[in-house]
Amino acid sequence: MPYFYVDRYYWILIIPTMLFALWAQTKVSSTFNKYSQVMSRSGWTAADVCRQILDRNGLYQVRIEHISGNLTDHFDPTSNVVRLSDSVYSSRSVASIGVAAHEVGHAIQYAVGYTPIRIRAAIIPVTNFGSKLSMPLILLGFVFQWQPVVNLGILLFSLMTLFQLITLPVELNASRRALKTLEGDNILYGEEVSQAKRVLTAAALTYVAALLTSAAQLLRMILLFGRRNNRD
């Protein structure tokens, strides 16, 4: 069962992407922590800014909730709620305001019908289904020499890579919307905008890492099972 042991493709493809993902996570944490110490001159909290941007875009129906955790912030389209974490909600820092504005960016994407986020939302059920079945199908097909079943498993796994591919522009667009609003509406001033951008750029690296990791895993599967077919 070639996928389930450490092969050369594991060292060539998986280890580098794992290291990059670890670096990206460290980068976002350190950058957020750094600019969490820089207070915005406006004096507004991240929750205040979140409400302001939502209202200016006519999204009065979107609620804001405080949730526990560190950087667990997200927009929930099913409940129409922007959830801000302990480290963001009541903070007046440039970093927290940037994160809050980014999440509002997702709410605006849904409101204006931004195509990539609509596609991402549509494929989530299929992606979840594929993630659960892909590896069992690959294992089953390999054990019983059923290549079509192996191929189906790889195809289902590829849906996760597709999801990550679509997610990246969605996140980048939300950050662009956030920074444009923060500067254009005079919520952040001068260097504060650049500092918020550094936080959001660091966060974007985690999505790049997720895409590279998923693509590397998919390529490894294809190379391993393709090599097996060639021997057969």
Q: Is 183 a catalytic residue?
A: no
Which one from 103, 171, 183, 192 is the annotated catalytic residue? 103
Phi and psi dihedrals of 75, rounded to 5?
A: -105, 130
Phi and psi dihedrals of 197, rounded to 5?
A: -65, -40
Cβ count near 89 (within 10 Å):
19
Buried b / exposed e along 153-174 (16+ C-beta atoms within 10 A): bbebbbbbbbbbebbeebbbbb
User: Could you tell me the two tokens for 138?
Assistant: 């690959």
CA 5, CA 10: separation in Å to the nearest integer?
9
User: Could you tell me the two tokens for 30?
Assistant: 């350190």
CA 127, CA 157: separation in Å to the nearest integer?
8
Cβ count near 5 (within 10 Å):
7
Q: What DSSP element (H or E) covers 81?
A: strand 81-84
Report, as residue numbers or ranges, the catalytic residues: 103
